[in-house]
Amino acid sequence: MPQLQLFVKALLLNWVLLDNFIGRFGWVRGLGNEACMENYEIRILKKGRKPVIYAGPHTSDYAAVRCAQSLAAKDDHVEVWRDLDCVYSTGGARASL
């Protein structure tokens, strides 16, 4: 069973990487050669610790959320932010600095 979980995580990560690659070269949303990436911030709050924050470009909210899910453990609280908008949250207390 752990091998299946690792395989699924690797598959999801590859999907996110492919989505980012396609977006970087403008093959998404009909933008020609322009990149269509937006900046996202992924916050992962582990119990009893400060949040771990990842920042980077993704092609869509969906890609950013999938990346966040692949980085987080099962019991972690996860938030994904695009600018000042929280596009995904797993519930629970908000991650703060």
Confidence grade of residue 37 (pLDDT, cut at 50, 70, 90): confident
pLDDT at 2: 64
The more confidently predicted of residues 6 and 54 is: 54
Would you say residue 48 lies in a domain?
yes
Would you say residue 96 lies in a domain?
no
Q: How many CA atoms lie within 13 A of 25 on its CB side?
A: 6
Would you say residue 8 lies in a domain?
yes
- Could you tell me the pTM of the whole model? 0.59
pLDDT at 26: 47
Would you say residue 52 lies in a domain?
yes
Would you say residue 45 lies in a domain?
yes
Would you say residue 95 lies in a domain?
no
Q: How many other β-carbons are positioned within 10 Å of the β-carbon of residue 79?
A: 20
The domain tally of the chain equals: 1
Domain of 22, in residue numbers? 2-89
Confidence grade of residue 24 (pLDDT, cut at 50, 70, 90): low
Would you say residue 97 lies in a domain?
no
HEC states along 16-36?
Answer: HHHHHHHHHCCCCCCCCCCCC
Question: pLDDT of 9-21, one tens digit each?
Answer: 655 556 555 565 5
Would you say residue 77 lies in a domain?
yes
Tell me what the mean pLDDT of segment 19-35 comes to. 51
